[in-house]
Structure 1
Amino acid sequence: MRYREFWQLVDEVLGSAHGRALARDLVLFELQGRTAVQALEDGEEPRDVWHALCDAMEIPDARRWGSAARQAPPRR
C-alpha cells in the first residue's frame, strides 16, 4: 500500500474530515502510542498503520477496503 492509497481509504472508509481528524489525533496502542500521522512520518508501512487504525475503530474486514474494486493488502 502506498501513502496515497492510505489517504484514499481514510477518506472513503472513515470520511474525509472525520478520518483525517482520527489519523491526526487518535493515539493508537498498536503503534506504540503514536497517532497514524506520527507513525507514517516515522516511516511505518502505510498498510500496518491502516490495519492499526481500523482495529482501533473496530472496522470489519469487509468494510476496510472501500469499493469492491480495491483488493485488500495482506497483513504482515
Structure 2
Amino acid sequence: MRNTVFRRLMAGEFGEIRAEMLAHDHVLSSLGGRTADQALEAGIPAKEVWLAVCDALEVPEHRR
C-alpha cells in the first residue's frame, strides 16, 4: 500500500481533518509508541500502519 492510499483510507474513515489530526497526534503502542506519521517516516509499511490504526480505533473488519 502506498502512503497516498493510506491517506485516502484515513480520510474516508475519519474525515479529512480528523484523519490528519489522528495521524499527527494519536500515539499507537503497537507502532512502538509512534504516531502514524512518525511510523511512516520511520519506514514502517503503510499497510501495517493502517491496520494498527484500525485496531486501535476499532474500525470494523469490513472497512479495513
Runs of 4+ in 1 over 6 A off after TM superposition: none
Could you tell me how far 1:14 is from its partner in structure 2?
1.2
AA of the residue aligned to 1:2? R
The number of equivalent residue pairs is: 64
Alignment TM-score, normalising by the size of structure 1: 0.81
The answer as to 2:3 corresponding to 1:7 is no
Compute the TM-score of the two structures, normalised by the length of structure 2: 0.95
Which amino acid letter does the alignment assign opposite residue 16 of structure 1?
A: E
Task: List alignment gaps of at least 5 residues for structure 1.
Answer: 65-76
Higher strand share: 2
Report the RMSD for the aligned CA atoms in angstroms: 0.6
The aligned counterpart of 1:20 is: 20
* Residue in 2 that maps onto 1:37: 37
In the alignment, residue 11 of structure 1 is paired with which amino acid? A
- Structure 2 unaligned residues grouped into runs of 5+: none
Cα distance in structure 2, aligned partners of 1:55 and 1:17: 20
Give the structure with the higher percent helix. 2
- Larger of the two Rg values belongs to structure: 1
Post-superposition Cα deviations, 1:23-53, rounded to whole Å, max 9, x if no partner, equal 1000001000000000000010000000001
